[in-house]
Structure 1
Amino acid sequence: MSEFEKLMQQKAAALRYDPEKNGAPVIVASGMGYMAEKITETAMKAGVPVYEDDSLASLLTQLKLGKEIPEELFQAIVEIYVYFLGFTGESKSKDKKEEKSEK
């Protein structure tokens, strides 16, 4: 498979969740190929966590921008949010343990 073909298979979607405005996360960007690559690069540069799941990305890129994700995808999205919350929490607790052991 050529590099171009690999690039064209990439898919990405960006979500935003504001509980005061929306009942569910909203798709704020999505794309395939070069656009997917740029969405991912932009997120990483901005310090936004990136989660890779080809199946979920395929589903999300089929939805309209600005729309809340459908209820059928809630569980998958919640698992991603929990993953990132746990990742951040573990990272912070390890840092605190290391600080205490140094004292």
Structure 2
Amino acid sequence: MPEQTPDRDSRRHAVALSYREGNTAPRVVAKGYGELAERIIEAAKQHDIFIHDSPELVSLLMQVRLDEQIPETLYQVVAELLAWVIDIDQRK
């Protein structure tokens, strides 16, 4: 029986966002499937960057091109997530 390769939808996905004060919105700075996704996640862990596991949000963010800002439709959910992360960081 031939070895089956997982299709794109069944592999792990990862998207990295960057937001700097003064920017209009966060930007997608890295994204990938499978091994690339694992490397993105590992790099985040090594730099003590918060990792949020939300398949639905990642699926939407995977549609954004690299170095583009997230669409306005995602502003609210990403803003709430960033505010939560900032709050956690300040409590450390």
Query: What's the TM-score bracket when you normalise by the shorter of the two chains?
Result: 0.7 to 0.9
Q: For the residues of structure 1 that align with 2:89 and 2:47, how far apart are their CA atoms?
A: 16
Q: Distance in 2 between matches of 1:56 and 1:87?
A: 20
Unaligned ranges ≥5, structure 1: 92-103
Aligned residue number for residue 15 of structure 2: 13
Secondary structure in 1 matching 2:25: coil
Considering fraction of residues, name the structure with more helix: 1
Q: Which has the larger radius of gyration?
A: 1
Return the letter of the residue paired with 1:75.
Q
Percent of counterpart pairs with the same letter?
A: 33
Q: Matched residues in 1 for 2:17 and 2:53: separation? A: 13
Q: How many residues align?
A: 86
Q: Return the offset for 1:90.
A: 2.9
Q: Structure 2: 5+ residue runs without aligned partners?
A: none
Following TM superposition, where does structure 1 have runs of at least 4 consecutive aligned residues deviating by more than 3 angstroms? Answer: none
TM-score by length of 2: 0.83
